[in-house]
Amino acid sequence: MSAPAHAAPAGLPPGDSSGARESITSWRPVDRIGLGLCWAAGILLCVIAAAIVVYMAVRGLQYLKPELLTRSPQTGLNQSQTGGFLDPLVGTFILTVLGVSLAAPIGVATAVWLTEYGRPFWLARLVESGVEVVAGTPSIVLAIFGLIIFQQHLFAFLSFTAQGNAVLGRSFFAAGAMMSLIALPLIVGATREALQAVPGHLREASYALGKTRAATIRRVLLPAARPAIGTGAALGMGRIVGDTAIVVILLGASLQLEGAGGGPVVSTLRGTGSTLTSYVYNNSPAGEGNAPQKAYAAAFVLLLIVIGLNFLVGRIARGGKEQAWTR
């Protein structure tokens, strides 16, 4: 076909090049108002987003100094002596890695089972509802639930045990486990969607070559779903990085990383600490530290991390589209 303008309905005067375009002057007023509201809503959202970024950048950059990133926090009344937020930064990193590395395998496994097996039907429905419940549970509820669980003596090895045999129940392990529940539904959802998008004839092509279901999943379906798994994991990371409730309740109240013994890495993971979110909370006027300048600086860093993760999601998703194979 030549130019699409020529496909315009007959009856239009020849040579009217705008004929294919619909003019909104012919719309009813209510539709025009609706369209105006749509425009306004979109623009408002852009303005709000820009305001957040610009405001945080102005306030944050004002107080952000390189040494804040390299020094541990100290307690003190004088803001100039309370150190930086190295420990919260490390804490955020540890918690994110821990949460995602727990959530990714479980999430992918769940998605594979749901899409490729999903029998018996009632069990699949049950698993689906389970994922939905986890997705819908507020993180503060997950945190309280986690505290109950990890204070059991059974899980004493995952946190600090005080004298008198009381289990603290607060540690990177405990917080990481609950954080993984936040990321899990996102990974399950993204992976399921990707697996469902794999056309049935591709599965059949693999079966027709005498491949087992397991081989098909490993060599055909999971590689096809890889970009989506990446997207889901990055989205989950964003949620973990931004969560405060679980950190405040399950990571202990120590601003610094405090090991709980049992080997160099394990000690840290069993110990308590903080993240950027809890640091911001602590130092905001609402918290105990009352060092709003540092709160702004840390909040800006947090915002940068989350924006960076969002950017990553976009990149992964686009990369996935380039190798799209559904035609």
Partner 1 sequence: MDPVTPPPIRRIVVDDEPTVVGPPPAPPANGHVGGPGSPAGVGSPAGVGSAPGVPAVREQRRRSAPAVAAYERMRLEALTIAYAAKPAVRGVTLPVRQGEVLALIGPSGCGKTTLLRSLNRLVELTPSATRSGRITLDGDDVDGLEVNRLRRRVSMVFQQPNPFPMSVFDNVAYALREQGSRRPSQSELEPAVVDALQRAGLYDEVSADLQHAALRLSGGQQQRLCIARALAVRPEVLLLDEPCSALDPRSTATIEELIVRLRSEVAIVIVTHNLQQAYRIADQVAFMYLGELVEYGPADSVFGRPREQRTRDYVAGAFG
Of 101-109, 162-170, 202-210, 266-274, the window that binds partner 1 (rule: CB under 8 A) is 202-210
Smaller CB separation from partner 1, 5 or 126: 5
Q: Is 2 in the site for partner 1 (CB under 8 A)?
A: yes
Q: Is 11 in the site for partner 1 (CB under 8 A)?
A: no
- Token pair, residue 37, equals 């509201």
Q: Which helix (H) or strand (E) holds 253?
A: none
How near is the Cβ of 309 to partner 1 at its closest, in Å?
26
**Axis-axis angle for helices 86-112, 292-322 (nearest 10):** 30
What CA–CA distances, in Å, run from 159 to 62, 176, 180, 247, 321?
A: 38, 12, 17, 14, 43
Q: Of 31, 132, 204, 288, which one interacts with partner 1 (CB under 8 A)? A: 204
| Residue 265 burial class via C-beta count within 10 angstroms: exposed 0-12, middle 13-18, buried 19 and up | exposed
Helical segments of 64-171, H only: 66-70, 86-112, 121-136, 139-150
How near is the Cβ of 226 to partner 1 at its closest, in Å?
10
How near is the Cβ of 302 to partner 1 at its closest, in Å?
37
How near is the Cβ of 153 to partner 1 at its closest, in Å?
41
Q: Of 201, 264, 285, 321, which one interacts with partner 1 (CB under 8 A)? A: 201
Say how many residues touch partner 1, by CB under 8 A.
28
Q: Is 218 in the site for partner 1 (CB under 8 A)?
A: yes
How near is the Cβ of 220 to partner 1 at its closest, in Å?
5
Place of tokens 């496994």: 109
Of 90-98, 164-172, 178-186, 217-225, the window that binds partner 1 (rule: CB under 8 A) is 217-225
Q: Is 21 in the site for partner 1 (CB under 8 A)?
A: no
Place of tokens 């749901």: 114
How near is the Cβ of 104 to partner 1 at its closest, in Å?
20
| Residue 264 burial class via C-beta count within 10 angstroms: exposed 0-12, middle 13-18, buried 19 and up | exposed
Smaller CB separation from partner 1, 1 or 24: 1
Positive or negative, the CA dihedral 19, 21, 24, 26 is: positive
**193-209: burial string, b at 16+ Cβ within 10 Å, e else:** ebbeebeeeebeebeee
Q: Of 206, 274, 275, 277, which one interacts with partner 1 (CB under 8 A)? A: 206
Q: Which positions touch partner 1 (CB under 8 A)?
A: 1-3, 5-6, 8, 14, 199, 201-202, 204-212, 214-215, 218-220, 223-224, 323, 325
